[in-house]
Copies of this chain bind each other. A is one copy, B any other.
Amino acid sequence: IHEHVSPDPLSSLSVDTQGLQKQFDELASFSDSPAPSVTRILYSENDVLGRRYIKNLMSLSGLSVREDAIGNIFGRWNGDEPELAAVSTGSHTDAIPYSGKYDGVLGVLGAIEAINVLKRSGFKPKRPLEVIMFTSEEPTRFGISCLGSRLMAGIKEHAELLKNTVDNQNISFFDAAKAAGYSNVENLSSAFLNKGSYSAFVELHIEQGPILEEEAIPIGVVTAIAAPASIKVDFEGNGGHAGAALMPTRNDAGLAAAELALAVEKHVLDSGSIDTVGTVGILDLHPGAINSIPSKSHLEIDTRDIDEKRRNTVVEKIHQSALSISNKRRVMLSQFKIINQDPPASSEEFIIKAAESSARELNLPYKKMISRAYHDSLFMARISPMAMIFVPCYKGYSHKPEEYASPEAITDGVKVLALTLAKLSTQ
């Protein structure tokens, strides 16, 4: 019988900072947009190449690799007691259009490197350790965020929705997955995981906010994840010729959309809370010609809060605005669809404590904080105890090419993750 002890954190945790940097750059080269931006869309050629790259890294680290029906990727290091529930860690590698190379990627490449760190230190886990690359955390292609982790969490409505989901080219989710090589995709329930499959889940991620950098604190320990709601809205009017249709006769679907976008901002600010945010990231006009009055408009709205009730009030106010704009402008509100309205999640105390003591042992100051962005952890929380570890990023930037975390910040994060996994694997 082995003795399961944490490695001496100060002497033996050596991160291959340069090698890891190279991996960030290599993975970023699988992109549909030119560097320094990254665009990696679910089941695209570059996504498939990125997946191959990750599976190869997992194999090189001695992990045994499996993929589920929709391409969630698992790399397992079986511990001394492989029948125990594993400790898992991971994140995503898909990237929204024209974004950066750290969001999500840190939590995958960093997790594999944390395994390497532990192996190099001579550590042997008791519970198995598992690295997960989640399929499509970003909603880019099918309008559904955390597509993979929602399915792993066994959310049946989500599986039902996937059956009838198409992208904006009218390609079904199933066809897209098959084209990427996931021929078993229709067996969605095979990807469900039971509660208790994992004893703990930890996700390493850039903060995507400015706090750690501003306060010069290298580690954030996340105690809760803000609750997102996403809404799709369509307006329809009569359109017509931009010269010939006089102003009083118009019912311009584009102006209805413009008004609603500003109403979203107003309702969010009216909440009075700094924690309430709302964004119109998508606003499409049809037919989209300079001399044509928009006959259709489509908006996608994202609103979040750490307070679910307050966020739901904002959603309701947005709905009221959509109705009154539709009425006032005589445009039809042909869709007001709440795509998701998820509850927030709290981190589990014993994982927070493991991360805190890891940071302390590594002499790294840390701060307990809220995650305003949401993550696959939000859904892993439904089937496993969960917490997250944040590292600072430049100006809090994310979802754009300027997104950046320094090699030092990444190294600190990987060390804390490695030590946290080590501690959790013996609990």
A contacts, CB < 8 Å to B: 96-99, 103, 138-140, 143, 145, 207-210, 226, 228, 230, 238-249, 252, 254-255, 257-259, 261-262, 265, 268-269, 274, 276-283, 285-295, 300-302, 304, 372-374, 396-400
Q: Which residues of B contact A274 (CB under 8 A)?
A: 246-248
10 contacts between A and B (CB under 8 A): A96-B289, A138-B289, A239-B399, A240-B398, A243-B373, A244-B373, A255-B262, A258-B261, A258-B262, A279-B293
Closest approach, in angstroms, between the C-beta of A147 and any C-beta of chain B?
13
Given that A262-B255, A262-B258 are known contacts, is A96 also in contact with B243, CB under 8 Å in the complex? no
Task: Report Cα–Cα, A11/B206, bound state, in Å.
Answer: 84
Residues B243 and A302 in contact, CB atoms below 8 Å apart: yes
Q: How far is the CB of A390 from chain B (nearest CB, A)?
A: 10
Q: Judging by beta carbons under 8 Å apart, are B228 and A277 in contact?
A: no
Q: How far is the CA of A261 from the CA of B258 in the complex (A)?
A: 7
Q: Smallest CB–CB gap between A107 and chain B, Å?
A: 15
How far is B291's CA from A282's CA once the two chains are assembled, in angstroms? Answer: 9
Q: Residue A249 contacts which of B210, B257, B276, B285 (CB distance < 8 angstroms)? A: B210
B98 touches A287 (CB 8 A): yes
Are B265 and A255 in touch, CB under 8 angstroms? yes
Residue from B239, B246, B261, B295 within 8 A of A277 (CB atoms): B246
Complex Cα spacing A80 to B143, Å: 68
Interface centre among A145, A245, A246, A254 (most CB of B within 10 A): A245
User: A246–B373 Cα gap in the complex (Å)?
Assistant: 11
Residues on B with beta carbons closer than 8 Å to the beta carbon of A246: 209, 274, 277, 372
> Contacts of A209 on B, CB cut-off 8 Å?
241, 244-246
Expressed in whole angstroms, the Cα–Cα distance for A252 and B304 within the complex equals 17
Measured between beta carbons, the chain B residues less than 8 angstroms from A276 are 247
List of B residues within 8 angstroms of A145 by Cβ: 291
Q: A258-B262, A279-B252 are in contact. Are A96 and B242 (CB under 8 A)?
A: no
Hey, which chain B residues are within 8 Å of A286, CB to CB? 98
Least distance between A36 CB and chain B CB atoms (Å):
14
Q: Across the interface, name the chain B residue whose C-beta is closest to A254.
A: B280
A399-B289 contact given A209-B245, A244-B373, CB 8 Å threshold: yes
A239 to nearest B CB, angstroms? 5
Q: Is the CB of A288 within 8 A of B282?
A: yes
Asked if A247 and B277 sit within 8 Å, CB to CB, the answer is yes
Chain B hits for A228, CB < 8 A: 243
Across the interface, which residues of B come within 8 angstroms of A208, CB to CB? 241, 243-244
CB-based closest 9 A-B pairs: A208-B244, A243-B373, A242-B279, A258-B258, A241-B398, A290-B300, A98-B287, A258-B261, A209-B244
Q: Which residues of B contact A285 (CB under 8 A)?
A: 280-283
Q: B291–A279 contact, CB under 8 A?
A: yes
Instruction: Please tell me if the beta carbons of A293 and B281 are within 8 angstroms of each other in the complex.
Output: yes
Shortest CB-to-CB span from A281 to chain B, Å, is 5
Minimum distance in angstroms from A338 CB to a CB of chain B = 13
Chain B residues, CB < 8 A from A374: 243
Which of B241, B262, B265, B281 is within 8 Å of A291, CB to CB? Answer: B281
Given the complex, which residues of B lie within 8 Å of A252, measured CB to CB? 265, 279
> Could you tell me if B138 and A241 are in contact, using CB atoms closer than 8 angstroms?
no
